Amino acid sequence: MVKPLILTGLRANNDLHIGNYFGALLPLIDMAKQKADEYDINLFVPDLHSFTTPVNHADLQDQVMHNIKLFVAAGLPLDHPNIHIYRQSYIPAHSELTWILDCFTGMGEMGRMTQYKDKSANVSADRISVGLFNYPVLMAADILLYGASYVPVGDDQSQHLEFARDIATRMNTRFGELFTIPKAVKEQHEFFGKDQGLRIKDLADPSKKMSKSDDSGKGVIFLGDNPETAAKKVVSATTDSLGVVHYDTKEQPGISNLLELHALLSGEPLQAVIDHHDGKEAYGDLKKEVAEQVTAFLTEFQSHLAGVDEKQLLTKLESDEEFMNKMANKTLLGVQRAVGLRPRG
C-alpha cells in the first residue's frame, strides 16, 4: 500500500533567525520525526521560488546548501527511508508542469492572490516579475507532481493551496484523473494542528515580529550571529519606563517578548517563567538571563552546524533527487499524454 505523502518546503535563501527556528524549523523537524513511519515526507528546497523577488544570485547556491545544513543541525534525520530532501530546480518536471498549468490558469485568479497584492503594492508595474505573479502555479506543480495530500501552510499560503486544489480539479475534470487533490485548508489544520505558538517580536521594536528583512538587524537574532553580538542585542532590547516586570503584550510588549523568548530557550512553560519574574523591579536581571540563554543556544547550535557532514548530505540529496525525478516524470508524462504533448500509450 502506498503511503500518503506530506510535502513542505525548506527555505532556500536569506539567513534564518531565532524566530524561524522556533516557529518553523523545529516544528517541521518534529513533524517529520513523528510522522515518517506512517507517511512519506518530502522536504524540498524551493530554490526556483527564491527569486520571485530580488536576491543575490551569486550567493544563492551557497545559501541553499547552508540552509539545508541548518535543518540537519537542528535534528533533521538523514537516515530515515521515508524522509526525502531535494532541490526543486534539480527536478525539471516542476518547471515543465508549471508551464502546462499556466495555460489553464486565468489572469484574474492570479491577480486576486493576497500575497501577490501585498508584495507588489509598492512596486511599479513594469518591475513586478511574472514569476511573482504566477508563483501559486509553481507551488501547485510542487504539490501535484508527487500526489501530496498534506501540505502544512500558514494563513498567507492558504489561498495558494486552494488554487492547487482548484487547478487539479479543473484538469481532472477535463482530462481524467491526473492528480491527487490535496486536502482542504481546514483538514490541513486538523491534521497538523493550527499553530497558536509564540511569535518572537523584534527586540528593537516589539510592535512587529522579528523579520529577516529588517534593514538594521538590531532587533533580530540570526542563527549565524556571533553569540556575544546576539547577547548584546538582548541587553539593548527595547522595554518601557514602568519599572516592574509584568506579562502584558499591550502595555509591556518588550518585556513580554523577553519572557516569551526566555520560555522558548529554556523549554519551561511560559506561565512558570512569568511567575518567576513577575513583579521584579530590575529589568536588567531578566535581560541578563535571556542573554545568557541566547549565548548558550547559539554556541551549541553553531557547533552542530559546523559538524554537519557535507559529503553525507550531498549523497542524500543526489539519491533523493534521482528518486524524485522518476516520481515527478511519471506524473508529468501522464499530463503530457493527456494534453497531447506525448503519444498516448
What proportions of the chain, in percent to the nearest 5, are helix, strand and coil? 55, 5, 35
Domain with CATH 3.40.50.620 in the chain: 5-196+310-339
**What value does the mean pLDDT of the chain take?**
93
Strand blocks (E) in the chain: 5-9, 40-45, 83-87
DSSP 3: P
Q: Catalytic one among 33, 119, 232, 280? A: 119
The helix/strand/coil state of 7 is: strand
Check residue 23 and give its pLDDT.
86
Q: Per-residue pLDDT for 197 more than 70? A: no
Q: What is the model's pLDDT at position 66?
A: 92
Do the beta carbons of residue 141 and residue 102 sit within 8 Å?
Answer: no
Q: Has 194 been annotated as catalytic? A: no
Non-local (6+) Cβ contacts of 8 within 8 A are 28, 42, 43, 44, 151, 152
Write down the pTM of the prediction.
0.90
Catalytic status, residue 288: no
Q: Report the pLDDT value the prediction gives residue 118, as an integer from 0 to 100.
A: 86
Annotated catalytic residue 119:
yes
User: Region 18-36: what's the mean pLDDT?
Assistant: 92
Instruction: Note the pLDDT of residue 198.
Output: 62
Query: What percent of the chain has pLDDT above 70?
Result: 97
The closest of 32, 37, 17, 19 to 72, measured between CA atoms, is 32
- Does the pLDDT at position 200 exceed 80? yes
Q: Higher model confidence: residue 300 or residue 124?
A: 300
- Cβ neighbors of 237 (< 8 A, separation 6 or more) are 203, 204, 206, 219, 254, 257, 258, 287
Q: Is 84 helix (H, G, I), strand (E, B) or coil?
A: strand
DSSP conformation class of 117: H
pLDDT above 70 (res 314): yes
Mean pLDDT of 189-195: 81
Mean pLDDT of 242-268: 96
Catalytic residue, chosen from 117, 183, 209, 232, is 209
Kindly report the CATH class assigned to 227-305.
Answer: mainly alpha
Report yes or no: 145 and 93 within 8 Å, Cβ to Cβ: yes
Q: Is the pLDDT of residue 13 over 80?
A: no
Mean pLDDT confidence for 299-328: 97
* Cα distance between residue 91 and residue 321, in whole Å: 7
Over range 256-284, report the average pLDDT: 95
pLDDT of residue 252: 97
Domain span(s) for CATH 1.10.240.10 in the chain: 227-305
Q: From the candidates 33, 212, 218, 288, give the one annotated as an active-site residue.
A: 212
> Residue 40 is which amino acid?
D
Q: Which residue has the cell 495558494?
A: 160
pLDDT at residue 214, as a whole number: 66
Q: What is the pLDDT of residue 215?
A: 64
Residues 250-260: b if buried by 16+ CB within 10 A, e if exposed: eebbbbbbbbb
CATH match for 5-196+310-339 among 3.20.20.70, 3.40.50.620, 1.10.1060.10, 3.40.50.150: 3.40.50.620
* 3-state helix/strand/coil string of 174-223: HHCCCCCCCCCHHHHHHHHCCCCCCCCECCCCCCCECCCCCCCCCCCCEC
Q: Average of pLDDT values for 85-107? A: 98
**For residue 188, pLDDT beyond 80:** yes
Q: Rounded to an integer, what distance in angstroms lies between the CA atom of residue 340 and that of residue 337?
A: 5
CB 154 within 8 A of CB 23: no
In the chain, % of residues over pLDDT 90: 81
| pLDDT exceeds cutoff 60 at 255 | yes
At 194 the pLDDT is 65
What confidence tier does 334 reach under pLDDT thresholds 50, 70, 90? very high
Q: Which of 142, 133, 206 is nearest to 168 (CA)?
A: 142
pLDDT in tens, 31-84: 999 999 999 999 999 999 988 888 889 999 999 999 999 999 999 999 999 999
CA 139 to each of CA 48, 73, 330: distance values in angstroms, whole numbers, following the listed order: 10, 27, 18
